Amino acid sequence: MRSATEPTAARWRVRLERWNRKLHYYAGLFLLFFLWLFAVTGLVLNHPTWSFAESWTKRTETNSERAITALGPEVKGDLAQAQEIMRQLGIEGDILWTTTRTDTNQFDFQVRRPGHYYFIKADLAQNRVTLRHSTVNLWGVIKVLHVFSGASIDDPRQNRDWALTTVWTYSMDAVAAGLIFMVLSSLYMWWELPQKRLLGVVVLGLGSLICGLFCLGLRWLF
């Protein structure tokens, strides 16, 4: 005798399968160009000898000296001073700390954003700035996007100083969450096809083995 809850359970299962497929399709469409971006840039970064994608040797540079307004006593700390200098120079991007200051009147730092690199040497006593500005081509931009986060685990001074960097990192979080969902929804659709389970187990096991080799095996074997 069938339980009264079976039709309800069956309806919920049908709805779950339908919505799982729909969300899987639409998530894939939404992530399509993000995945292409990371796939292409991953290949380019993995093969630095591909000349067509070279960017740094093809960069353009300009050098200039600029006068700045004296920084008032209310502008305290390296970050505030760097931001004020950037504001006066009309520069936007993430600040990259490269040296430790030994002279309060000499202030060197870099500013980076995709496609642009600014090397700034400020003489606060003379209120002068030496600015070197390097720009790279489209390949340089998309390669930077592959690793661009604005933060460094090795240097706590490196924080996200530019609003667009934060937007980009949240976008990458969304891409990561979307990929996790697509993997889980794929597992669900595969399990709902009994005739595909054996082959799926073989493929899943092979992929897990290779991934495990690189994640864990190399640590133990070499």
Tell me the pLDDT tens digit for each residue of 20-58. 888 998 999 999 999 999 899 889 888 888 888 888 889
**pTM exceeds 0.85 for this model:** no
pLDDT higher than threshold 60 for residue 2? no
Q: Which pLDDT value is given to residue 222?
A: 59
Q: Which amino acid is at 14?
A: V
CATH fold label, 60-135: TATA-Binding Protein (3.30.310)
In the chain, where the domains are located? 11-49+170-221, 60-135
What values do phi and psi take at 115, rounded to 5? 95, -15
> Between the CA of residue 210 and those of 46, 182, 197, what are the distances in Å?
18, 20, 20
Q: Which among 94, 105, 114 has a CA at the least distance from the CA of 157?
A: 94
DSSP 115: T
Q: Give the tens place of pLDDT for each residue, 163-211.
A: 888 888 888 899 999 999 999 999 999 888 888 889 989 999 999 888 8
The residue among 160 and 117 whose pLDDT is bigger is: 117
Q: Give the tens place of pLDDT for each residue, 48-74.
A: 888 888 888 899 999 999 999 998 888
